[in-house]
């Protein structure tokens, strides 16, 4: 019996009086790279914020490796092993690259300390060349790399990446894509929110589609690739 | 007439040395108080209008501890730590309830505490002036530099304040904790998402800021008369210092505090009726030329 790494069970999320998510279910197994696909405004970021505890669900629950984490404060959810990388690349602009990494440093929930600054620089050679550069001075792609690296420094059990390709030039998107693939091959469990299906087809192992706050489809990435009806209906631009 | 006295003093080394040392102790006390105010504002985004009262209770804590134990070390420690703990409790129980609210709400909460603390002091110590007296340790002949006399306590006070300021600056600039604190000042949600308990961090920073005010109060106790309400003038001067130096900047607070200290010490000789006017004049000038203060970042 395998236990899911992340289990989102029937969550309803509201912003004030307006309901955004309706009974969202989502499961990610250890080692998977799960794409959460959906159009603009479908509810991807809201799902992530619910998992991270920033927009706590009003109903339903969220489990990490069998332990309920919903209802906890965001910092406790992070310590439990959820590594949330928000969509708008929130680097600390007036800190250097290295200081951003230092701020993200913590042990994993079971004392894991796999990620060190040196290991980060091996995986992110771009960052290694400019350790003392202010994060605010980096390009969008470099900032995206840095936010991912900074969250990895906290040794999460699962990495939540919210639209890492958004607003980046195609060549940078490709670099981010190979980075995510590399992390997947290292065994990192990833949940990846995207509008850009083609980006996900190349790197994800599984896919879940969200539309108007509800889950409408889930399958392997090959299943999605072959399903023109779903692609047409929910993901065509 | 008085300006002549000032010119005379400036041309005599011994007088200048004495006035500079007076300016430095005024400046250092101001620096400690203002840097606490600035730290709290920079990280938590709230203005602790009760900060001057924290300075006052620091002085009274030191006074009582000295009376009880006869130890000046314990007096300083109880002023510093007592007010630090008091500040942390104040943040948890009261200030944290008005975060993100109208600044008038913050003002109201702080003003209530200014009144309560003044009255507490009156009840416990009486309304009249108190003198702590100079500890035996400092009953030494004054230092003599170029013919000017500097009391040994002044030297001690300037040294301690400089060390405290340096530790504060290094702590904020170089340690991981300081980096986290600066990041939390800019993006607390992200800091929380990285696993850091910002609630605790805020309480701690408020405690450190309060401790700086308490330390200043304790250091001032041997050389100032203690009265309820003694926090008011230093609060106003601290505001002037933070405005000149730039809100949130420790180095800015240091430069501005020394500037105000020297203005006071030389001004009281050269233009005694216009010292306050001069301080506000400098502040106005800075506000016109660089609204964010000497070392403050422009507010966006
Ligand atoms: N703070 C907020 N207050 C009110 N409504 C919000 C808020 N944030 C998002 N919404 C609404 O919630 C819905 C879902 O938004 P969400 O950000 O989750 O979508 P998304 O799938 O991430 O879209 P995108 O691809 O544009 O990032 C949208 O209709 C949006 O307008
Ligand atoms: Mg989004």
| pLDDT interval class at B300 (50, 70, 90) | very low
Predicted pLDDT of residue B258: 96
Any domain includes A152? yes
CB-CB contact of A150 with A104 (8 Å): yes
- Ligand 2 centre from A181 Cα, in Å? 21
Interval A218-229: pLDDT, tens: 999 999 999 988
Q: To the nearest 10°, report the CA torsion of B50, B56, B62, B67.
A: -130
Contact A78 B194 (CB under 8 A): yes
Contacts of B272 (CB under 8 A, 6+ apart): B2
Q: To the nearest 10°, report the CA torsion of B79, B80, B81, B84.
A: 110
| Of the candidates A168, A82, A178, the residue with the CA atom closest to the CA atom of residue A124 | A178
Distance CA B171, CA B167 (A): 6
DSSP E strands: which ranges in B56-169?
143-145, 148-150
Contact A154 B179 (CB under 8 A): no
Q: Quick one: average pLDDT of B55-64?
A: 97
- Ligand 2 centre from A195 Cα, in Å? 9
**Token code pair at residue A116:** 């060190």
Pairing, β A59-64 against β A67-68: antiparallel
Cα angle at A178 between A176 and A181, to 5 degrees? 110
- CA-nearest residue to A90 within chain B is B190
Task: Give the residue extent of every domain in chain B.
Answer: 3-289
Count of domains for chain A: 1
Chain A contact probe: residue of B181, B186, B192, B195 with most A CBs at under 10 A: B195
| Of the candidates B153, B156, B157, B162, the residue with the CA atom closest to the CA atom of residue B254 | B162
Distance CA B55, CA A126 (A): 49
Residue A54: which of B183, B189, B195 has the nearest Cβ? B189
Taking 80 as the threshold, does the pLDDT of residue A1 lie above it? no
For a ligand 1 pocket test, name from A45, A163, A214 the mutation site with the most ligand atoms within 8 angstroms of its C-beta: A45
Taking 70 as the threshold, does the pLDDT of residue A120 lie above it? yes
Q: Both ends of chain A: CA-CA distance in Å? A: 39
CB-CB contact of B238 with B40 (8 Å): no
Task: Kindly report the length of chain B.
Answer: 300
State ipTM. Answer: 0.93
Within 8 A of A106 by CB-CB distance, chain B residues are 194-195
**Token code pair at residue A69:** 């984490």
Within 8 A of B182 by CB-CB distance, chain A residues are 92, 94-95
Q: What is the DSSP string of A139-190?
A: -HHHHHHHHHHHHHTT--SEEEEE-TTTT--HHHHHHHHHHHHHHHHTT-EE
Phi, psi of B140, deg, nearest 5: -115, 160
In the 8-state DSSP scheme, what is residue B130? B
Contact B194 A104 (CB under 8 A): yes
Residue A7 forms beta bridges with which residues? A27, A63
Taking 50 as the threshold, does the pLDDT of residue B153 lie above it? yes
Q: Decide: residue B98, CB within 10 A, 0-12 exposed, 13-18 middle, 19+ buried.
A: middle
**Token code pair at residue A199:** 């980006």
- For residue B193, CA distances in Å to A52, B18, B94, B176 come to 7, 53, 25, 17
Interval B102-126: pLDDT, tens: 889 999 999 999 999 999 999 999 9
Contact A75 B193 (CB under 8 A): yes
Within 8 A of A103 by CB-CB distance, chain B residues are 176, 179-180, 183, 191, 194, 196
Interval B199-227: pLDDT, tens: 999 999 999 999 999 999 999 999 999 99
Q: Quick one: average pLDDT of B231-249?
A: 93
Residue B179: which of A73, A103, A106 has the nearest Cβ? A103
Distance CA A90, CA B86 (A): 35
Any domain includes A1? no
CB-CB contact of B83 with B76 (8 Å): no
Contact A104 B180 (CB under 8 A): no
Please report the residues numbered 195 through 224 in chain B whose beta carbons come closer than 8 angstroms to any beta carbon of chain A: 195-198
Contact B193 A93 (CB under 8 A): no
Predicted pLDDT of residue B299: 55
What percentage of chain A reaches a pLDDT higher than 70? 99
Predicted pLDDT of residue A134: 96
Residue A34 forms beta bridges with which residues? A191, A206
Within 8 A of A73 by CB-CB distance, chain B residues are 192, 197
Q: Quick one: average pLDDT of A111-125?
A: 95
- For residue A95, CA distances in Å to A106, A136, B181, B187 come to 18, 8, 11, 12
Cα angle at B206 between B155 and B263, to 5 degrees? 40
Q: Calculate Rg over the CA atoms of chain B.
A: 19
- Its CATH architecture, for the domain B3-289, is Orthogonal Bundle (1.10)
| Of the candidates A180, A118, A117, the residue with the CA atom closest to the CA atom of residue A154 | A117
Contact B195 A154 (CB under 8 A): yes
Question: Ligand 1: which atom is nearest the Cα of residue A39?
Answer: 25
- For residue B274, CA distances in Å to A140, B234, B267, B277 come to 54, 17, 8, 5
Contact B183 A154 (CB under 8 A): no
Distance CA A115, CA A93 (A): 22
Residue minimizing CA distance to atom 24 of ligand 1:
A40
Predicted pLDDT of residue A2: 66
3-class SS shares of chain A: helix, strand, coil, % to 5? 35, 25, 35
Range of the domain at A188: 6-235
Phi, psi of A158, deg, nearest 5: -145, 140
Any domain includes A50? yes
Taking 50 as the threshold, does the pLDDT of residue A68 lie above it? yes
Taking 80 as the threshold, does the pLDDT of residue B10 lie above it? yes
CATH code of A147's domain = 3.40.50.300
Interval B156-199: pLDDT, tens: 999 999 999 999 999 999 999 999 999 999 999 999 999 999 99
Give yes or no for A31 touching B (CB within 8 A). no
Q: Quick one: average pLDDT of B36-60?
A: 94
Residue B187: which of A79, A90, A106 has the nearest Cβ? A90
Q: What is the pTM of this model?
A: 0.91
Question: Ligand 1: which atom is nearest the Cα of residue A195?
Answer: 25
**Token code pair at residue B182:** 């600066």
Chain A contact probe: residue of B173, B180, B181, B193 with most A CBs at under 10 A: B193
Chain B contact probe: residue of A64, A73, A74, A79 with most B CBs at under 10 A: A74
Taking 70 as the threshold, does the pLDDT of residue A237 lie above it? no
Q: Quick one: average pLDDT of A68-77?
A: 97
CB-CB contact of B76 with B137 (8 Å): no
Q: A98-102, A189-193, A230-234: lowest mean pLDDT where?
A: A230-234
Pairing, β A6-15 against β A59-64: antiparallel
């Amino acid at each position: 019996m395998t236990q899911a790494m992340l289990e989102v069970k029937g969550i309803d999320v509201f912003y004030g009086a307006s309901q955004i998510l309706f009974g969202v279910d989502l499961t990610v197994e250890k080692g998977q790279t799960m794409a959460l696909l959906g159009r603009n405004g479908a509810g991807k970021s809201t799902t992530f914020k619910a998992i991270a505890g920033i927009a706590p669900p009003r109903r339903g629950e969220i489990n990490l490796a069998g332990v309920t984490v919903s209802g906890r404060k965001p910092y406790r959810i992070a310590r439990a092993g959820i590594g949330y990388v928000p969509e708008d690349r929130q680097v600390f602009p007036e800190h250097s690259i290295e200081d951003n990494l230092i701020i993200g440093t913590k042990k994993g929930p079971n004392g894991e300390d796999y990620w060190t600054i040196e290991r980060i620089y091996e995986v992110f050679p771009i960052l290694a060349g400019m350790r003392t550069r202010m994060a605010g001075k980096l390009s969008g792609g470099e900032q995206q790399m840095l936010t991912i690296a900074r969250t990895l420094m906290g040794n999460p059990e699962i990495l939540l990446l919210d639209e890492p390709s958004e607003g980046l030039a195609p060549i940078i998107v490709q670099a981010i894509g190979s980075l995510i693939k590399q992390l997947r091959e290292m065994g990192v469990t990833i949940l990846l929110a995207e509008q850009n299906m083609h980006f996900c087809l190349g790197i994800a192992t599984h896919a879940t589609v969200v539309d108007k706050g509800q889950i409408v489809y889930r399958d392997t990435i090959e299943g999605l690739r072959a399903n023109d009806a779903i692609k047409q209906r929910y993901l065509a631009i | 007439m008085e300006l002549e006295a000032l010119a005379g003093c400036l041309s005599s080394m011994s007088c200048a040395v004495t006035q500079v040392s007076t300016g430095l102790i005024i400046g250092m006390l101001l620096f400690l108080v203002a840097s606490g105010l600035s730290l709290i504002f920079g990280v938590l985004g709230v203005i602790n209008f009760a900060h001057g009262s924290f300075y006052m209770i620091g002085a009274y804590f030191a006074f009582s501890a000295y009376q009880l134990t006869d130890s000046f070390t314990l007096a300083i420690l109880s002023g510093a730590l007592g007010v630090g703990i008091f500040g942390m409790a104040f943040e948890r129980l009261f200030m944290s309830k008005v975060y993100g609210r109208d600044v008038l709400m913050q003002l109201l909460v702080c003003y209530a505490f200014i009144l309560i603390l003044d009255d507490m002091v009156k009840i416990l110590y009486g309304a009249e002036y108190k003198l702590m007296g100079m500890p035996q340790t400092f009953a030494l002949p004054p230092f003599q530099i170029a013919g000017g006399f500097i009391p040994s306590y002044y030297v001690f006070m300037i040294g301690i304040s400089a060390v405290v300021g340096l530790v504060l600056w290094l702590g904020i600039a170089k340690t991981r904790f300081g980096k986290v604190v600066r990041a939390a000042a800019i993006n607390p949600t992200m800091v929380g998402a990285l696993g850091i308990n910002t609630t605790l961090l805020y309480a701690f920073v408020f405690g450190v800021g309060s401790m700086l005010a308490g330390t200043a109060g304790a250091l001032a106790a041997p050389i100032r008369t203690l009265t309820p309400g003694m926090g008011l003038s230093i609060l106003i001067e601290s505001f002037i210092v933070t405005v000149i130096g730039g809100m949130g900047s420790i180095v800015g607070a240091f430069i501005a505090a020394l500037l105000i200290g020297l203005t006071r010490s030389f001004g009281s000789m050269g233009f005694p009726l216009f010292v306050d006017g001069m301080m506000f004049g400098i502040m106005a000038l800075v506000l016109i030329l660089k609204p964010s203060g000497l070392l403050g970042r422009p507010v966006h």
